[in-house]
Structure formats: C-alpha cells, structure tokens
C-alpha cells in the first residue's frame, strides 16, 4: 500500500486502537440501528467504523452520511465487487492497531467485540474468530449447507474451525493486511491466516435473526464454496511449490505411458500387431499428458515467483471517501 499517500491525505494522522470494517450492500434499514449498536457496545474505546458501500442501489449511502459521526468513514466503491474485495478495501482504509470484521445486517452483535479484543491482547492471539453458537438462520437453506461446507473445509484444509461462515473476527493489523482477499475467499479467512502462521482461536458469539432487508446469499453459494475449497487446498499445500503437485502427476503419468510403450515395443519386435490395440492409445495419452503436466508445473512455479515479487496492485477502484459527513478524498483514489 502507498502509505505516504494516505498520510498526505490525512487518513493516518492518528492511529486508532480498533477499526471495525463493515461491508454493506442495500442495507438502508440496517445502517442506523447498526451504528447505534456499535456506539453503545464500544463506549469509550478508541475506535473507528469503516463502512464499505459495495455498489448499493438503494439509500444505504445516504443513511450512512445521515448517521455518521467523527468516528465513521464511508468508502464508496464504484460498483459491486463482492464481499471479499469490499473487505480488502475496508482494511486498506482503516488505521487501527486491531481490525474487526462485522456483518452489516445486524446478525452479528457488536457487544461481543470488547471481550474478543481483550482476549486478543491478553493472550497474544493473532486472530480471534466468532462461532455462532445459536444460529438464527433457516435449517435447510443455511444451517445444513453451512454444516456440510464447514466439515469439508476442516477435512480438506486441516484447519479445524467450527464456524467458517461467521463474519465477526478480530485481527492484529499485520495479519489483516496480508490476508490477500479477492474473489469469494472471505469464507476461508482462517485458512488464509494460517498460511501466514497466525495463531487463531475461536469463541462463541451471539447471533440474531435478520430484521430488515434480504440475505444476499442463497443455496447457490454452496457450489462457489466447493470451487474455492479446491483453491484453498492448493494454497494450503502447494502455493509455494506447485511443481510438487503438477510434477508428481506428470512424472507418474509419463512413467506409466513409458512403461506401456516399452511393453508394446517389445510386443511389436516379437512380431505381433499393436496398431489396433487400445493400450497403444492409452500409452500415448499418458506419455503426452505427463509432459504437459510437468510443463504446467514449471510455468506455475514461474507464475508463483512473479506473484510474490510483483507490485501490490488493488482489485478495486474507489469513487469517494467520506470522514463523518464530509468528503475527504478525490475521485478514483489509488492506494
């Protein structure tokens, strides 16, 4: 991040103890009670609230400005980028020593934050995540798919968490900044934090039924979770060594193809006809497939090196930033 640019604009003139990042999209009815709940729960803590408007088409932005105070920052994105990217924008514009993620639909309870913050500091955890002990969601469309997804994630990533879907989490700043959220990877924040070597614990938190608006998630998100899970398994095991995956598959395939073709060569030298044998086609496919997998492994290794050594470019653009009720920055900020 271009920290000097943020200093020049006045964002980092005073570091806060805690930044609360809330991503919202079409949550106009939830904004006022949400901000009131945060203020009531956090009292005299040195905090700020970063509200990221992820392409709302209702009066969400106006509600934020109408209810803002000097602790409130609105980051208005140009369009809907998705929750993971909106979280990244909120973290980028925050200035707290600790960063909390909170849902904008009033289902998370801000009164859990002080206790989680105290635990984070007292026992020197890097991340404290919430576990929705008594979920107020529908059984068939939310709880059962979530339970299956949680079990699969635990099994395949080796990161054993009860509830991956709870947004309420607290981080030390250095962990939050290096999460690398994009696409739909917010569901895998514990896995991403573990990749950094973070010490993570989970505590039971309160959960409320949605009062206003409609959920932005349906049963179709299960398929997105499955696709992202494959990516997380790759990240967890092979992010820095993709050749170990593709190379292993390639050498096994190449070896089997080579053995089959040697066998067929010997069979041919003995005077037998091999051209009408399906085994010949299989041998050639395995041989060529092995070469391709090895080549993919080499290219993937080169790409990983480029990934780690390239410039830190953002995956979003910001329309405006407001501090309280006042616009604080120019259009199209590049951070």
pLDDT in tens, 105-156: 888 899 999 999 999 988 889 999 988 887 765 555 556 666 677 677 777 7
The CA radius of gyration of the chain, in Å to the nearest whole number, is 25
Residues 6+ apart with CB under 8 A from 44: none
The long-range contacts involving 149-154, CB below 8 angstroms and separated by at least 24 positions, are 149/187, 149/222, 149/225, 149/226, 149/229, 152/226, 152/229, 153/188, 153/191, 153/225, 153/229, 153/232
Compute the distance between CA of residue 98 and CA of residue 126 in angstroms, rounded to an integer.
10
- pLDDT < 70 stretches in the chain: 1-13, 136-147, 150, 182-183, 212-226, 304-305, 307-316, 325-335
pLDDT of res. 332: 43
Instruction: Please give the DSSP secondary-structure letter assigned to residue 132.
Output: E
Instruction: State the pLDDT at residue 301.
Output: 75
pLDDT in tens, 34-79: 999 999 999 889 999 999 999 999 999 999 999 999 999 999 999 9
How confident is the model at residue 20, as a pLDDT?
96
Q: Note the pLDDT of residue 311.
A: 56
Cβ partners under 8 Å of residue 126, min gap 6: 171, 172, 175, 193, 198, 199, 200
Between CA 225 and CA 150 the distance in angstroms is 10
Give the pLDDT confidence score for residue 223 in this predicted structure: 66
Output the six-digit token pair for 200: 């993570």
Nearest to 22 by CA among 57, 58, 48: 48
Residue 334: CB atoms within 10 Å: 9
Cα gap 225→300, rounded to integer Å: 23
CB 185 within 8 A of CB 262: no
How many Cβ atoms from other residues are within 10 Å of residue 312's Cβ? 7
Cβ contacts of 66 within 8 Å, gap of 6 or more: 32
Q: What pTM value is reported for the model? A: 0.71
Cβ-contact 193, 127 below 8 angstroms: yes
């Amino acid at each position: 991040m271009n920290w000097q640019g943020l200093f020049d604009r006045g964002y980092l003139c005073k570091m806060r103890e805690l930044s609360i990042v809330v991503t919202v999209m079409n949550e106009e009815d939830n904004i006022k009670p949400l901000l009131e709940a945060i203020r009531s729960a956090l009292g005299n803590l040195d905090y700020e609230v970063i509200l990221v408007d992820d392409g709302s088409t209702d009066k969400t932005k106006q509600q934020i400005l109408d209810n803002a105070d000097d602790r409130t920052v609105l980051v208005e994105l140009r369009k809907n980028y998705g929750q993971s990217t909106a979280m990244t924008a909120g973290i980028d514009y925050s200035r707290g020593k600790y960063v909390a993620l909170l849902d904008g639909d009033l289902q998370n309870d801000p009164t859990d934050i002080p206790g989680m913050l105290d635990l984070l500091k007292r026992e020197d955890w890097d991340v404290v995540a919430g576990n929705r002990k008594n979920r107020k969601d529908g059984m068939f469309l939310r709880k059962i798919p979530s339970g299956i997804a949680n079990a699969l994630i635990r099994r395949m990533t080796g990161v054993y968490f009860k509830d991956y879907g709870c947004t309420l989490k607290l981080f030390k700043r250095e962990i939050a900044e290096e999460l690398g959220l994009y696409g739909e990877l917010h569901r895998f924040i514990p896995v991403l934090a573990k990749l950094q070597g973070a010490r993570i614990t989970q505590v039971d938190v309160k959960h409320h039924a949605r009062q206003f608006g409609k959920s932005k998630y349906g049963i179709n998100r299960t398929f997105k979770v499955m696709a992202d899970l494959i990516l997380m398994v790759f990240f967890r095991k092979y992010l820095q060594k993709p050749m170990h995956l593709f190379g292993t598959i390639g050498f096994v395939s190449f070896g089997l193809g080579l053995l089959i073709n040697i066998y067929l060569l010997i069979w041919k030298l003995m005077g037998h006809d091999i051209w009408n044998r399906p085994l010949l086609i299989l041998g050639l496919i395995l041989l060529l497939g092995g070469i391709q997998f090895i080549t993919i492994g080499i290219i993937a290794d080169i790409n990983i090196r480029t990934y780690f050594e390239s410039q830190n470019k953002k995956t979003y653009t910001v329309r405006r930033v407001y501090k309280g009720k006042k616009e604080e920055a120019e259009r199209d900020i590049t951070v």
